[in-house]
Amino acid sequence: MRIAILSQGPQLYSTRRLVEAAVARGHEVKVINPVKCYMNINMTKPSIHMAGKDLGHFDAVIPRIGASVTFYGSAVLRQLEMMGVYSVNSSIGIARSRDKLRSMQLLSRKGIGLPITGFANKPSDIPDLIDMVGGAPLVVKLLEGTQGIGVVLAETRKAAESVLEAFMGLKANIMVQEYIAEAQGADIRCFVLGDKVIAAMKRQAKPGEFRSNLHRGGSATLVKLSPQERSVALRAARTMGLNVAGVDLLRSNHGPVVMEVNSSPGLEGIEAATDKDVADAIICFIEKNANKQSKKSAEMGVC
């Protein structure tokens, strides 16, 4: 097959591993920086060009679109979908999961456990907003944040009020969340591929930190999931419409709660912690699914 990887970083671990795995299975792979592409949108022969050349036909695409280029990257992915190319994650699934608030609303509609979450934009609503999520301590999250940046633990009501006022003053979109203290600075990353959780790790925040992101110094170890955790992770990925997803759970007193569903989960941490060849599993999944899916989407249209 001819496989495209939409990624801005050919040198990134995840991109490199996917290239390696695809080549090892006999495929031709091209890493494409979506920002460098431009498109001809037309009825008869939609195409994508880069540096004066038509990129030609692909059988499958693996989107690894960075959060900062979601808008343009999604447009390029949609163009590939219009061209009948099988995408392991659809542009719609990616758009849903990139919007933290939209994700929470979709997951709650499906009855999936979440930390109690509030959203508001007027400073005068702050007192009720804080009460709504059960008071302090609570977590304030910037909707646009990634890798733990813009996630703040407000330990007292006073601190919560000040942080919320400051963010609202800056016109930032924020979410307020019940703090799951019993998780003790740990979360569970479930790597979903199709209808299976193929790998899972527990990430533990470094001492004095509540955010367990590996980019913030957290450490990862292999973890065994309960059947309930497995089922919640699969349902969350399905709700977003993602075949490849990193579902982040917290172990709360009231069962597993979903914090986030990531459409471009990193491979480095999970492969190291679990010793699984996740990249190879993704390529195998594409081999099994690309043919039937691309025929169907070409017939139905995918936007």
The residues of the shown chain that bind ligand ADP, judged by CB under 6 A, are 115, 139, 141, 145-148, 151, 177-180, 183, 187, 205, 210-213, 248, 250, 259-260
Annotated binding residue 275: no
262 annotated as ligand-binding: yes
Which residues are CB-neighbours of 207 under 8 A, at least 6 positions away?
A: none
Find where tokens 């960075």 sit.
Answer: 66
Query: Which residues 6+ apart lie within 8 Å of 255 measured at CB?
Result: 113, 228, 232
Specify the residue, 126 or 174, whose C-beta has the smaller distance to ligand ADP: 174
Annotated ligand binding at 178? The verdict is yes
Q: How far is the CB of 152 from ligand ADP (least distance, A)?
A: 10
Q: Which residue has the tokens 């009855």?
A: 111
H or E segment to which residue 176 belongs: strand 174-178
49 phi and psi angles, rounded to 5 deg = -120, 155
Residues 6+ apart with CB under 8 A from 85: 4, 57, 58, 59, 60, 61, 294
Of the candidates 276, 270, 232, 263, the one whose C-alpha atom is nearest the C-alpha of residue 107 is 232
Shortest distance, CB of residue 213 to ligand ADP, whole angstroms?
Answer: 5
* Total number of residues shown for the chain: 303
Q: Least distance (Å) from ligand ADP to the CB of residue 258?
A: 10
Nearer to ligand ADP, 152 or 286 (CB): 152
Parallel/antiparallel/unpaired status of strands 138-142 and 151-154: antiparallel
> Does the annotation place 291 within a ligand binding site?
no
233 or 259: CB nearest ligand ADP:
259
Nearer to ligand ADP, 153 or 298 (CB): 153
At closest approach, how far in Å is the CB of 113 from ligand ADP?
Answer: 12
Q: 3-class SS at 265?
A: coil
Residue 299 Cβ, how far from ligand ADP at the closest point, in Å? 36
In the bound state with ligand ADP, the residue whose beta carbon lies nearer, of 34 and 148, is 148
Q: Which of 58-85 are b and which e, b meaning 16 or more Cβ less than 10 Å from the residue's Cβ? A: bbbbbbbbbeebbeebbebbbbbbbbbb
38 CB neighbour count, 10 Å cutoff: 14
- Is 260 annotated for ligand binding? yes
Closest CB to ligand ADP among 160 and 183?
A: 183
Q: Residue 212 annotated as binding?
A: yes
To the question of whether residue 213 is assigned a binding role by annotation, the answer is: yes
Q: Quote the least distance from Cβ 185 to ligand ADP, whole Å.
A: 6
- Ligand-binding annotation for 288, yes or no, is no
Q: Which residues are annotated as a binding site?
A: 141, 178-179, 187, 211-213, 248, 260, 262
What residues form the annotated binding site for Mn(2+)? 248, 260, 262
> Which residue numbers belong to the known binding site for Mg(2+)?
248, 260, 262
Binding site, annotated residues for ATP: 141, 178-179, 187, 211-213
